[in-house]
Amino acid sequence: MSTHLLDPPRSAIPEAAARPAVAARSGAVLLSLLRRARKVSGLVVVLALWEAGARAGWLGSTTPPLSDVAVRGWEMASSGALFQNLGVSLGRVLKGLAIGLPAGLVLGLLSGLFRVSEDVIDAPVQAVRMLPHLALVPLFIIWFGIGETSKVGLIAVGVVFPLYINVFHGIRGVDERLVESARTCGLGRLGLIRKVILPGALPQILVGLRLSLGVAWLTLVVVEQSATASGIGFVINQATQFLQMETVFLVLVVYALLGVSTDLLVRLVERRALAWRRGLVAR
């Protein structure tokens, strides 16, 4: 009888057991919010210094404050001019990536998986890779004219090599002991490639993809500086001629945002595709 009286009510047991779980969940959410705030804190500081430095004249008389650039961006977005030219530039990059990324991936796979392909492919690719592809702009204009073909072709050439190098070294960096273990388990050539080699090389391949996307945006900046009647490069050229510095800095911000956005997209894919990998966790 006394033991029964000392027992807690049945309804209190689940509630007490749930409290630690609720507290842990709340703590995880708070830590996630704090980490996201920390990630953007550096960018916020840079933007604040830009605004204050431009207002105080520390950045020179030609550097507009961030607020003026934001106003100019709103005006161009409202008129549709910004999105129209941005769409043209995005189309060029997507076309170049659609050509260059598959080429770099296929060449890297062939050279990495087959010794004969490496002997045939690697030397020419390395020779062309040593050429500064941005210096090939005049040559591409002579070959393909001043139209879209030369611009898209130069972007495609630029993105091939970072991906090729990383695919090749990612495959060759797979531990041979894993391959031998898989062979002893009865895996054939295709099974080894699909279940061992490609998953092992995937981290390096994604690094190559990130580098290739960065090269694509850098190449876009260059190819749109000459003989262009549309695109955000055309906007910055026109603004430079008329000393519209708010527009110049606006386009630079757009370039930066495009590069950061694509890099974050690949990192998101990397986080999901490589959830199985155990690596060093920074503290």
Amino acid at position 80, single letter: G
Question: Is the distance from CB of 159 to CB of 97 less than 8 angstroms?
Answer: yes
Question: Is the distance from CB of 157 to CB of 136 less than 8 angstroms?
Answer: yes
Query: Distance (Å, rounded) from C-alpha 82 to C-alpha 235?
Result: 8
Query: Distance (Å, rounded) from C-alpha 90 to C-alpha 87?
Result: 5
Question: Is the distance from CB of 262 to CB of 217 less than 8 angstroms?
Answer: yes
Tokens of 13: 């047991």
- Structure confidence by residue, pLDDT tens digits, 195-235: 888 888 888 999 999 999 999 998 988 888 777 788 888 88
**Could you give phi then psi for residue 201, rounded to 5 degrees?**
-90, -10
151: closest CA among 100, 214, 83? 100
Query: Distance (Å, rounded) from C-alpha 175 to C-alpha 115?
Result: 17
Query: Distance (Å, rounded) from C-alpha 89 to C-alpha 120?
Result: 35
* Angle (CA) 227 220 122, round 5°: 115
Model confidence at 166, in pLDDT bands (50, 70, 90)? very high
Amino acid at position 231, single letter: G
pTM check: above 0.75: yes
- Structure confidence by residue, pLDDT tens digits, 89-128: 999 999 999 999 999 999 999 998 888 988 899 999 988 8
Amino acid at position 8, single letter: P
Nearby residues of 106 by Cβ (< 8 Å), 6 or more positions away: none
Examine the pLDDT at 12 and tell me if it is beyond 70: no
pLDDT of residue 211: 92
Q: Of 5-14, 32-41, 139-148, which gets the smallest average pLDDT?
A: 5-14
Query: Distance (Å, rounded) from C-alpha 88 to C-alpha 76?
Result: 15
Phi-psi region of 60 (alpha: psi -120 to 50; beta: other; left: phi over 0): left
Query: Distance (Å, rounded) from C-alpha 110 to C-alpha 21?
Result: 51
Q: How much is the CA Rg of the chain, to the nearest whole Å?
A: 27
Query: Distance (Å, rounded) from C-alpha 92 to C-alpha 231?
Result: 9
Residue whose token pair is 């807690």: 8
* Angle (CA) 91 94 99, round 5°: 130
Amino acid at position 134, single letter: L
* pLDDT > 90: percent of the chain: 27
pLDDT of residue 278: 66
pLDDT of residue 23: 62
Nearby residues of 71 by Cβ (< 8 Å), 6 or more positions away: 246
